[in-house]
């Protein structure tokens, strides 16, 4: 009788194990189907966008011509060039083939902020590099960015490891699944550039002589404040969030009303993310010419939070460009203005477009209540009027040197 009971218990246990195994298989299959569905969706969006030749972000009326000129900034880019050469020399032949593209290849426009489970990236990832190759890769990024920009990039990468921890080790979350590509040949006279592409972090970096265009740039993160695990305490975008809210709250009631597109913040509001290279976007909100001197300076400080991710020297070059158009800059808002508000804001001028958005929860398990959250943020920086990816400077360079073919 005792043996019968033992066999019965083993039979029940085996049956439960089989059911658990079947349940896991079903859940895995369901997840794979979901991933494949979204992967096709993003691939189709990109394909549709690439069918259109690059134009750039413009208003319906357009802006004045000759906004961007080829000139000497007096800020050497030689350290970036040397770092890129060292990185390329560190790669194997097969890695080199995957990493290098023609200067005008559409690889520039192939980027997306979503995770690696639903978007295929080109180039080599940090994860597959040797320690020496990885050191060379980070040297290129370090020479191109400010210390703040480099640290922010690393902190964004950390959030992907946190998502991995929170999601039972899902393979497509990883702080090293960030992919580098080089367009053109590193040069002191000819145009070239590089791209870093991964979840919540995309940097497009164009160089011509000693001029630099760093856009489009996408920087985001989830969770914004990490409370557990390896990177506990990692925190992102608090200054961009708090100063933006502070500016909105400092406006007069009349100007707040002008700035507000809608007080209802029900979803995601960014308009200039991936596949939006040819976006038509009119100025909205309140014009900065109406700001007091103190409010105008606060806005310049906020803009600088985004611009200062570029290397020292070139940050000042870009800010001079921004200041020249500050009175024709517009500030717009979605959401309310309470102390703990979730919101979206946009700063838009002829030479810069900046977006900040509190997004719905995506990666943190059991946290999605269908509403935007301060724990998931997207930011975008673009150069309107045709100079994302340095395209307008590239056009001028080709015209000057008769590179029309």
- Digit-coded pLDDT (tens) for 184-218: 999 999 999 999 999 999 999 999 999 999 999 99
Same-domain check for residues 289 and 160:
no
Same-domain check for residues 223 and 242:
no
- The band of 32, judged by pLDDT with boundaries at 50, 70 and 90, is confident
- Contact status, residue 286 vs residue 299, Cβ threshold 8 Å: no
Cα separation values, 400 from 177, 209, 388, 395, 403, Å: 39, 14, 20, 9, 8
Using a 10 angstrom Cβ sphere, with 0-12 exposed, 13-18 middle and 19 or more buried, the burial of residue 339 is exposed
Same-domain check for residues 192 and 271:
no
Q: What percent of the chain has pLDDT over 70?
A: 92
Same-domain check for residues 79 and 210:
yes
Q: What percent of the chain has pLDDT over 90?
A: 88
Domain presence at residue 21: no
Residue 10 has pLDDT above 90, yes or no: no
Name the phi and psi angles at 354, rounded to 5. Answer: -125, 135
Domain presence at residue 37: no
Helix axes 314-324, 293-307, angle to 10 degrees: 140
Domain presence at residue 315: yes
Three-state secondary-structure class, residue 97: helix
Spatial distance between the Cα atoms of 186 and 208, rounded to a whole number of angstroms? 10
Spatial distance between the Cα atoms of 224 and 375, rounded to a whole number of angstroms? 5
Residue 107 has pLDDT above 60, yes or no: yes
Q: Say what the alpha-carbon torsion angle 287, 291, 297, 300 is, to the nearest 10 degrees.
A: -10
Q: Which residues contact 62 (CB under 8 A, 6 or more apart)?
A: 385
Same-domain check for residues 129 and 222:
yes
Domain presence at residue 57: no
Residue ranges of alpha helices (H) inside 100-130 are none
Closest Cα to residue 358, out of 345, 343, 369, 346?
343
pLDDT of residue 23: 46
Three-state secondary-structure class, residue 362: coil
Q: What is the mean pLDDT of residues 61-80?
A: 92
pLDDT of residue 1: 55
Same-domain check for residues 249 and 134:
no
The DSSP code for 348 is E
31-40, 179-188, 230-239 — which is least confidently predicted?
31-40
pLDDT digit string (tens) for 318-342?
Answer: 999 999 999 999 999 999 999 999 9
pLDDT of residue 378: 98
Residue 17 has pLDDT above 80, yes or no: no
Cβ neighbours around 321 below 10 Å, total: 17
Last residue of a domain, one of 177, 203, 229: 229
Residue 9 has pLDDT above 50, yes or no: no
Same-domain check for residues 245 and 286:
yes
Matching residue, tokens 């001029």: 211
Last residue of a domain, one of 171, 203, 229: 229
Spatial distance between the Cα atoms of 271 and 281, rounded to a whole number of angstroms? 9
Name the phi and psi angles at 30, rounded to 5. Answer: -65, -40
Domain count, the chain: 2
Spatial distance between the Cα atoms of 298 and 300, rounded to a whole number of angstroms? 5
- Contact status, residue 162 vs residue 234, Cβ threshold 8 Å: yes
pLDDT of residue 14: 53
Three-state secondary-structure class, residue 237: coil
- Contact status, residue 107 vs residue 98, Cβ threshold 8 Å: no
- pTM, entire model: 0.92
pLDDT of residue 179: 98
| Cα-trace Rg, the chain | 24
Same-domain check for residues 150 and 248:
no
Q: Which residues contact 121 (CB under 8 A, 6 or more apart)?
A: 110, 111, 179, 197, 198
Tokens for 127, please give them. 């994860």
Domain presence at residue 261: yes
Spatial distance between the Cα atoms of 20 and 181, rounded to a whole number of angstroms? 43
Q: Which residues contact 119 (CB under 8 A, 6 or more apart)?
A: 39, 42, 43, 112
Domain presence at residue 15: no
- Contact status, residue 183 vs residue 88, Cβ threshold 8 Å: no
Domain presence at residue 48: no
Domain presence at residue 62: no
Same-domain check for residues 223 and 298:
no
Matching residue, tokens 């477009």: 353
93-107, 166-180, 391-405 — which is least confidently predicted?
391-405
Containing domain of residue 243, as a range? Answer: 238-389
Last residue of a domain, one of 229, 257, 275: 229
Spatial distance between the Cα atoms of 272 and 216, rounded to a whole number of angstroms? 9
Same-domain check for residues 180 and 263:
no
Are β-strands 179-183 and 124-125 bridged in parallel, bridged antiparallel, or unpaired?
A: antiparallel
Same-domain check for residues 187 and 294:
no
Same-domain check for residues 82 and 223:
yes
């Amino acid at each position: 009788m005792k043996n019968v009971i033992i066999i019965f218990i083993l039979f029940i246990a085996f049956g439960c194990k089989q059911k658990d195994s079947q349940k896991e298989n079903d859940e895995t299959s369901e997840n794979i189907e979901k991933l494949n569905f979204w992967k096709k969706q993003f691939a189709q969006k990109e394909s549709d966008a690439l069918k259109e030749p690059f134009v750039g972000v413009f208003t319906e009326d357009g802006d004045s011509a000759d906004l961007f000129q080829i000139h000497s900034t007096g800020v050497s880019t030689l350290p970036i060039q040397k770092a890129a050469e060292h990185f390329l020399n560190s790669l194997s032949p097969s890695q080199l083939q995957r990493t290098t593209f023609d200067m005008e290849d559409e690889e520039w426009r192939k980027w997306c902020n979503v995770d690696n489970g639903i978007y295929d990236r080109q180039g080599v990832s940090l994860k597959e590099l040797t320690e020496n190759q990885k050191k060379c890769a980070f040297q290129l990024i370090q020479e191109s960015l400010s210390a703040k920009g480099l640290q922010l990039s690393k902190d964004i990468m950390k959030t992907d490891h946190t998502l991995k921890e929170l999601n039972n080790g899902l393979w497509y979350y990883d702080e090293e699944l960030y992919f580098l590509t080089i367009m053109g040949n590193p040069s002191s006279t000819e145009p070239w550039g590089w791209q870093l592409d991964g979840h919540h972090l995309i940097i497009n970096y164009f160089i011509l002589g000693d001029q630099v265009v760093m856009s489009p740039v996408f920087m985001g993160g989830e969770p914004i404040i990490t409370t557990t695990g390896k990177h506990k305490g990692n925190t992102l975008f608090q200054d961009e969030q708090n100063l933006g809210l502070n500016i909105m709250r400092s406006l007069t009631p009349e100007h707040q009303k002008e700035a507000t597109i809608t007080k209802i913040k029900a979803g995601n509001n960014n308009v200039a993310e991936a596949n939006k290279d040819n976006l038509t976007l009119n100025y909205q909100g309140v014009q900065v010419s109406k700001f007091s001197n103190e409010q105008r300076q606060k806005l310049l400080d906020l803009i600088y939070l985004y611009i200062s991710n570029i290397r020292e020297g070139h940050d000042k070059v870009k800010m001079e460009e921004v200041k020249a158009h500050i009175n024709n800059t517009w500030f717009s808002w979605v959401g309310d203005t309470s102390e703990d508000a979730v919101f979206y804001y946009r700063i838009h001028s002829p030479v810069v477009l900046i977006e900040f958005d509190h997004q719905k929860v995506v990666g943190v398990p059991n946290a999605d209540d269908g509403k935007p959250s301060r724990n998931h943020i997207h930011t975008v920086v673009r150069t309107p009027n045709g100079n994302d990816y340095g395209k307008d400077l590239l056009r001028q360079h080709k015209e000057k040197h008769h590179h029309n073919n």
